[in-house]
Structures are given as C-alpha cells and as structure tokens.
C-alpha cells in the first residue's frame, strides 16, 4: 500500500499536532433553522506551539474547540489530531489522551466526590493497571499543585483549588496538548495569574497550549493568535501581526489589549518606547530608561474629598454568617463585618473567590438574614423578622452573576416586566419596561417581542440588567456584572453602569477586575476570608502592602504612573484612571519637553 506509506511518512516528518481542513459545522435549532457555527476553517498547529483563540461572544470559539478534540465531528472537511481523523471512532482513545480540555467552569469537570478518585477517573477509563493509575494520580496532582488536596471532598474545594483538581484530572490522561476554554474568565486576579503561570510552565515543558479567552492581555505571550468572527477564521498570525490593525479588530468586535493601548498612548510622549510589548514587565523596564523629567509640578498628595455625610444609609454592624451551619459543609463566610455607606455613594467590593462578597450582597436585600450582628439599609432593619422585604427589594436591586442563566420567560418584554408584576406595580407596565430598556440601551420596538434565546451574549446581559432596573431601585448591588463579556461589550457595560451611578443610584459593585473597579468607584472594601481587611479610597487600596495576599493585583495603569513618578513625572497619586493620567501627561508635555532616551 504505497499510498499509506507515503501518508504516514509525511505526517511523521511534518509532525503536525492538529490539522483542520475546510471544516464546516452547523447546529440545527428545534425550529429547524440551521446556524452555521464554523465556516470553512483550515489551519495547522505544530507540537509545542502556544496558540490563543480570540473572538467576540458567539464567534464560534467553543465549537472550534469541540471540533479539535473530537467531541463533535465536522459536517464537511476533516480534523486530524496527531495523525488520526476525529471522525474515526476507533481512535478516540488516542485523541482524548492526546488532547486535554480544561473547561470554563472546573466544577463541570469533576466526576467523583474525592479528589484522588476524580483524578483516577481518566486512567480508569483507559483501563490502565492499578500501579500505573496510582503513579499517574500522584504525578498529575503534583504537577497541578494539588497533591495536598488528595483526600479532600471535591465539593468542599475553593474555586482556585477546584481549578487545580480539574487540571490534574486532565493531566492524568497524559495529554500532549492542553486546551483552556475560557478557563480564566471567572477567576480572581491571583488565581488567574497562577493559572497563566501554569500554562507558561507547561508550554516550556513542551506541551502544546491552546488558550481560548476574552482577556486580550492574556494572549500577547502566545506564539500565534487565531481570530474568529462569525464562524470564520479572519486572522491568523503573531500577536504583533494581529494587533497592528486596530480598525480591522473593531470590525471583528475586538479592541486593543490594554498593554498595547497604553503603549500607543505613551509613545506620543515617549517616542523611544517600542511599539509592541508582550508583557507588562517589558514596558515597565523600558519606562525605567526614560530620562528624568525636567517638568516641575507640585506633588499633590491630597486625597479625594471624603463625603463625610452624617447619614449612614447602609449600615453593617458586627455581622457574621456561617453557610450551611450545622452540617459537615459549614463554613464561616462573613466575620464581624462593620461598615457604612451614604446615600448615592458607590463602593467596590473586592477579594478572592469565596471571600464572602456574594454573601455580603445578599444580606442587603434580605435574601440572607443576619445570624449575628445587624444590617440596616435606609429605614429597613434586616435583623427584624417583620421587615417588609417586598418594599425593600423594590428599592434594592441585586443583580446576580451571569444573570441570564436564570431567565425563565420566553420574550424580552415579559422577562423585564416580571419584577414589576410580582412587586405589585399595576397599570402601565409597558411604560416601565420601555424606560428600563432605554436605560440599558435596548431599542424598545425592536427588542420587546424578541425571544430571549435569539439574543447575543451582550444583549442578554442588558435584558438581565433591565429586568432589575424596571422597578427603579435606588440601590443597585452588582455581583460581577462584567464576567464573561467580550471586550467591546464589556466597555459598553462599564459606561452603562457609570451612567446609572451618575443618576444618583447607590451602587455596590463586586468585581475581580481592578481596572473595572477604578473606572467606576472611588471607594473600595477588601474582603479576605470573610473579614474586611481594608476599606478606603481605591487610591489608598493600591498602596496597601498586603494587596498580594488578598488575591489582588495593581493594575497596569497605576504601575505605569508609579514608574513615571520615579522618573520625576509627578503624576498625582489620586489619578487612577488611564484617561486622566494621559490627560495629565498631555498638559505637562504641551511645554515641549524632550523625553527621548
């Protein structure tokens, strides 16, 4: 069979890890409608490459990943993994062993109730010997840094720990290629950084890495970026090639990574900076080389004026809470929480996953009642059993994480009207819905009768927000409102929240992303293991020595400002937003200072 020999020899010589050839894939909706998810995609991935896949919500990233590891097979075209066609079921053991997929939500990946048993699941399926399974379990848990969790219950792990255990389960299959499908999206900064470090380490050890993500700053270290748009592969190149054309990116609903945007802005004043950096550290090193500034400037260390309003509208007094009290799952989630907030004030709530942010928010609209201590909001004392929760919930809107997962109506209008109906609004529901839709930037006529499932990710998030705004609450509690959104919609949602804040709503924003925090609030509370460890202005927050231990990080713009300050550019410390920092540089540089190095 000469043909086979040639083929085999060829694939060995070229050593392709993954090859896609004119792959098409479409879903069929119950209505019979065909949705083309992947259109005519071809590319090759070599062993040991670090690939990033980016694209807006609904661009076909997840479908592509499933095609690569053989969970689904193409309608036409073919996918080859390490020389095996994914359509050939006889080789699925080889393909699944070769390619490890780490899911967005690691909990979806855990099958057993003990950690070591879960790690053993894959090798057991491969029918390996007892000693081989033992060896693999120990090795994989060590590699993912989860060996100390070996005998723990899987449902009692924190988010970061679950992530490691999920990774160990994948590693136990001894894959050559690891796919991370939006794995970093829901993690706090610290866990995210740890996971990215794990990826880098594995890449150095020779693994092929495929990283699917919305966070464009994460993809700059990749060897190659694949950009998807409406199911098509529209760009395939190095990070430099992909990000050089900002206009093209916009067309694909993408924006520049912050690192590159900041670099671009800085280059107007420091033209000797390179036009492309792959890491924050590289940019900061180069900023260390710019000449000291001759530009004088008073060093204004004055802090933002604190609104020392007498009135404490929201008040927590020594609140403690234990989740699942009295069961083996019992864990203290809040301990001795005390703080106050004035009306129309806004504050950010930060801290690692599981630090108690959501529990704290749920106390504010009575979903959780104080076990110990007191919570008061306006005239509502939540420690009292007879508090009027209905009226409270009308005034305090709590928007949950990924709120669109809880939709239950068919049509946009009904979903938005729900709160108004249940809270007893009568009469002009339609008007209320219209106002709410306007507030989130959805056209009433165009969207009110649309079925919810036909909306895009960003539109769904808007509907979710509108479904809370419809009763016009005075207080908005937002739990990770930007999680899982693609970059462009993320920006639009930040503007939207800012607009609501300016309208005078009291706002408590829980978030993992420090940049979002800086763009919306001036005050922040840090929760760590259920305790408040810091509260004050966001400016103060980033000068706290324990920041790292709390699972937080200093955002790049502040690190840039600090680097410039070291060089004599006395950017006031209260400038924490990038546009104000650039604005400051602009006015200072109007004098025409030479900042070459």
Partner 1 sequence: MPAFEYLRSIGIGYYYPGVSFLHRRDARMKVLFFSALLLGVALTTSINGLLLGLFCALIGFWMAHVPLSPCLRTIRSIFPFVLLLFLLQLLIYRPDESSMLIWQWKFISIYDSILLSAVRMLMRFLTLALVLGLMTAVLSTLEMNHGLEMLLRPLEALGIRTGMLVMVIQIMLRFLPLLALRMEEIAKSQAARGASWDMGRGGILKRIQLVLPLITPLFLNTLQQSERIADAMLCRGYGIYPKRSHYYEYHITSVDAIFLLVGLGITTAVLYLPLFH
Site for partner 1 in 53-92 (CB under 8 A): 66, 69, 71, 92
Does residue 40 belong to the site contacting partner 1 (CB under 8 A)? Answer: no
CB of 315 to partner 1, least distance (A): 21
CB 578 within 8 A of CB 263: no
Pairing of strands 372-377, 314-323: antiparallel
> Is the CB of 293 or the CB of 395 nearer to partner 1?
395
Cα dist from 162 to 168, 329, 406, 559, whole Å:
10, 16, 24, 31
- 259 in Cβ contact with 88 (< 8 Å): no
Residue among 403, 477, 512, 458 nearest 185 (CA): 512
Inter-residue contact 425 to 472 (CB < 8 Å): no
For 520, the 3-state DSSP assignment is helix
Minimum distance of partner 1 from residue 151's CB (angstroms): 6
- Site residues for partner 1, 151-170, by CB under 8 A, read 151, 153, 155, 169-170
Which of 67, 102, 256 shows the shortest CA–CA distance to 186? 102
CB of 463 to partner 1, least distance (A): 13
How far apart CA 23 and CA 103 sit, in angstroms, is 23
Which of 96, 202, 316, 380 touches partner 1 by CB under 8 A? 96
Interface positions, 426-485, toward partner 1 (CB under 8 A): 467-468, 471
Contacting residue, 7, 22, 390, 586, with partner 1 by CB under 8 A: 390
DSSP string, 418-459: HHHHHTT--S-HHHHHHHHHHHTT--HHHHTTSBGGGS-HHH
Q: Does 1 bind partner 1 (CB under 8 A)?
A: no
- Distance, in Å, from the CA atom of 53 to the CA atom of 103, rounded to the nearest integer, reads 15
Q: Please state at what angle helix 159-171 crosses helix 115-125, rounded to 10 degrees.
A: 20
Q: Which helix (H) or strand (E) holds 85?
A: strand 84-85
Residues 512-571 that bind partner 1 (CB under 8 A): none
* Residue 540 φ/ψ, nearest 5 degrees: -60, -40
Residues 317-356 that bind partner 1 (CB under 8 A): 323-329
- Name the residue nearer to partner 1 (CB basis): 12 or 130: 130
Contact partners, residue 427, CB within 8 Å, separation at least 6: none
Cα–chain-centroid distance for residue 162? 17
Choose, by CB under 8 A, the member of 64, 216, 368, 532 that binds partner 1.
368
> Which of 313, 339, 411, 418 is in the footprint of partner 1 by CB under 8 A?
418
Count interface residues toward partner 1 (CB under 8 A). Answer: 77
Residue 120 touching partner 1 (CB under 8 A): yes
Site for partner 1 in 129-148 (CB under 8 A): 129-130, 133-134, 137
Given 32, 127, 296, 310, the residue binding partner 1 (CB under 8 A): 127
Min dist CB 381 to partner 1, Å, is 17
Q: Which of 42, 76, 87, 125 binds partner 1 (CB under 8 A)?
A: 125
Look at residue 112 and give its three-state secondary structure.
Answer: coil
Beta bridge partners of 381: 376
Pick 117 or 574: Cβ nearer partner 1: 117
**Closer residue to partner 1, CB minimum distance, 156 or 488:** 156
Considering the complex, state which of residue 179 and residue 225 has its C-beta at the smaller distance from partner 1.
Answer: 179
Q: Which of 106, 572 has the CB closer to partner 1?
A: 106
d(CA 220, CA 222): 6
Q: Residue 346 contacts by C-beta under 8 Å, 6 or more apart in sequence?
A: 501, 505, 506, 507, 508, 509, 520, 521, 522, 523
Q: Return the range that interacts with partner 1 (CB under 8 A); candidates 248-256, 395-403, 540-548, 572-580.
A: 395-403
Minimum CB–partner distance for residue 419 and partner 1 (Å):
4
Residue with tokens 């390619």: 99
Residue numbers 100-119 binding partner 1 by CB under 8 A: 100-101, 103, 105, 107-114, 116-117
DSSP state of 572: -
The residue within the footprint of partner 1, chosen from 139, 147, 159, 389 (CB under 8 A), is: 389
Site map (CB under 8 A) of partner 1, residues 305-324, x = contact: ------------------xx
């Amino acid at each position: 069979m000469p043909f086979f020999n040639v083929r085999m020899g060829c694939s060995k010589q070229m050593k392709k890890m993954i090859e896609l050839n004119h792959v098409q894939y479409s879903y069929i909706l119950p209505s019979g409608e065909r949705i083309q998810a992947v259109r005519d995609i071809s590319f090759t991935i070599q062993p040991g490459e670090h690939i990033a896949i980016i694209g807006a919500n609904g661009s076909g990233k997840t479908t592509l990943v499933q095609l690569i590891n053989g969970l689904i097979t193409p309608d036409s075209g073919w996918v080859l993994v390490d020389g095996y066609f994914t359509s050939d079921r006889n080789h699925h053991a080889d393909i699944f062993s070769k390619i490890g997929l780490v899911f967005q939500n690691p909990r979806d990946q855990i099958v057993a109730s003990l950690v070591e048993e879960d790690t053993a699941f894959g090798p057991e399926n491969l029918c390996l010997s007892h000693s081989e399974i033992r060896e693999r379990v120990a090795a994989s848990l060590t590699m993912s840094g989860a060996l100390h969790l070996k005998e723990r219950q899987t449902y009692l792990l924190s988010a970061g720990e679950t992530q490691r255990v999920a990774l160990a389960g994948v590693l136990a299959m001894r894959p050559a290629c690891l796919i991370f499908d939006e794995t970093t999206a829901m993690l706090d900064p610290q866990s995210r950084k740890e996971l990215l470090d794990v990826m880098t380490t594995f890449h150095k050890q020779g693994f092929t890495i495929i990283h699917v993500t919305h966070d464009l700053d994460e993809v700059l270290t990749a060897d190659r970026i694949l950009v998807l748009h409406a199911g098509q592969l529209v760009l395939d190149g190095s990070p430099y090639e992909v990000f050089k054309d900002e206009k093209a990116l916009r067309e694909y609903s993408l924006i520049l990574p912050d690192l590159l945007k900041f670099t671009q802005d800085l280059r107007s004043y420091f033209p000797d900076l390179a036009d492309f950096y792959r890491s924050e550290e590289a940019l900061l090193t180069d900023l260390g080389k710019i000449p000291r500034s001759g530009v004088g400037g008073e060093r204004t260390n004055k802090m933002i004026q604190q609104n020392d309003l007498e009135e404490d509208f929201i008040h927590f007094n020594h609140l403690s809470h234990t989740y699942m009290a009295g069961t083996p799952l019992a864990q203290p989630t809040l301990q001795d929480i005390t703080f106050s907030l004035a009306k129309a004030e806004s504050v950010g709530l930060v801290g690692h996953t599981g630090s108690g942010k959501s529990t704290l928010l749920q106390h504010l609209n009575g979903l959780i009642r104080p076990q110990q201590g007191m919570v008061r909001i306006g005239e509502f004392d939540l420690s009292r059993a007879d508090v009027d929760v209905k009226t409270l919930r009308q005034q305090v809107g709590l928007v949950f994480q990924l709120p669109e997962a809880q939709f239950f109506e068919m049509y946009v209008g009904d979903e938005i009207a729900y709160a108004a109906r249940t809270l007893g609004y009568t009469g002009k529901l339609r008007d209320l819905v219209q106002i709410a839709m306007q507030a989130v930037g959805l056209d009433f006529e165009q969207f009110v009768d649309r079925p919810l499932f036909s909306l895009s990710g960003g539109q769904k998030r808007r509907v979710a927000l509108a479904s809370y705004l419809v009763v016009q609450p005075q207080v908005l509690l937002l739990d990770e409102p930007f999680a899982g959104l693609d970059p462009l919609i993320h920006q639009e949602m930040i503007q939207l929240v800012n607009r609501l804040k300016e309208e005078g709503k009291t706002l408590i924003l829980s978030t993992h992303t420090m940049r979002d925090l800086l763009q919306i609030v001036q005050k922040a509370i840090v929760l760590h293991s259920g305790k408040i460890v810091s509260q004050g202005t966001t400016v103060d927050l980033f000068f706290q020595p324990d920041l790292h231990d709390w699972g937080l990080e200093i955002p790049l713009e502040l690190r840039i400002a600090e680097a410039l300050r070291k060089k004599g550019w006395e950017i006031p410390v209260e400038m924490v937003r990038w546009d104000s920092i650039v604005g400051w540089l602009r006015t200072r540089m109007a004098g025409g200072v030479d900042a070459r190095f």
